[in-house]
Amino acid sequence: MTFNGAPILQVNGLGKIYGELRAAFDLSFEVRLGEVLGLVGPNGAGKTTTLRCLAGVIPPTQGRIQIAGYDLLKDPVHAKAALAFLPDEPRLFDYLTVREHLNLIARIYGVADWERRADVLLEELELKGKETALPLELSRGMKQKLSIACGFLHEPRLILLDEPLTGLDPLGIRRMKQSLRQRAERGAGIVLSSHLLPLVEELCHRILVIAGGRIVAFGSLDEIRSHLSGAGEALPAGRESLEDVFIRITSQSPPGPQEKA
């Protein structure tokens, strides 16, 4: 699928170095409105570091990130106003109730009709009746849902998700997938990092495979498949799944987590 919409995320030469370790190196890609990009890679590949850099949570060592046309480093407020970042572990304030979390987010992002939107989200995420609960009174899955509700409240144009289905029950997983699809159809750009390769294959239009902090494959699954066959790789009979492709790619890429700078 080709996306002709404006790019919501542009990444040029992104790098992140910790001491002597390169967690991410020379990453360049873009995500257009309505596109879902899957970010996959082995453990320690640099996925979470990349997402955190994209969200403005940690400063990159080098490179440029543009979100909705705003430079994340030079104009972080406008850039961050367009995005939502959902980390793998829900980070909530212990002393705020479910509804107070949404109220806080509404003020920070200036969501005038937040109460109507909050009601819809609470219904959608099965948090109705839990409005006055504190996070300590919620299960792991419910916390994840609250984190998702907070992320979606301001209708972000770019959604960055790190393992978004962790802790959700089967119904929650199905609803989450539907919700992500709908948001992409409504024009949001989505970057989704997950080890659940069937989920990535199902939802994502393009896939970015990183290993050792570098891009080792980028494109649609078909493009990656044809690239591999063009590179002389013997493809097995029938269509390869993302899992097969992933294993072939990452087994060729440099081993170990990050490289030395």
The encoded tokens of residue 75 equal 């104009």
Interface characters, 186-225, with another protein (x: CB under 8 A): ----------------------------------------
Q: 188: closest CA among 94, 67, 104?
A: 67
Interface characters, 18-47, with another protein (x: CB under 8 A): x-----------------------------
96 binds another protein (CB under 8 A): yes
Q: Is 112 left (phi over 0), alpha (psi -120 to 50) or beta?
A: alpha
Q: 40: closest CA among 216, 255, 209?
A: 209
CA distance 8 to 32: 5
Interface characters, 105-144, with another protein (x: CB under 8 A): -xxxxxxxxxx----------------x-x-xx-------
Name every residue whose Cβ is closer than 8 Å to that of residue 116 and which is 6 or more positions away in sequence: none
The interface with another protein within residues 53-92 (CB under 8 A) comprises: 55-59, 76-81, 83, 85, 87, 91-92
Can you give the binding site for another protein, defined by CB under 8 A?
Answer: 18, 49, 52, 55-59, 76-81, 83, 85, 87, 91-97, 100, 103-104, 106-115, 132, 134, 136-137
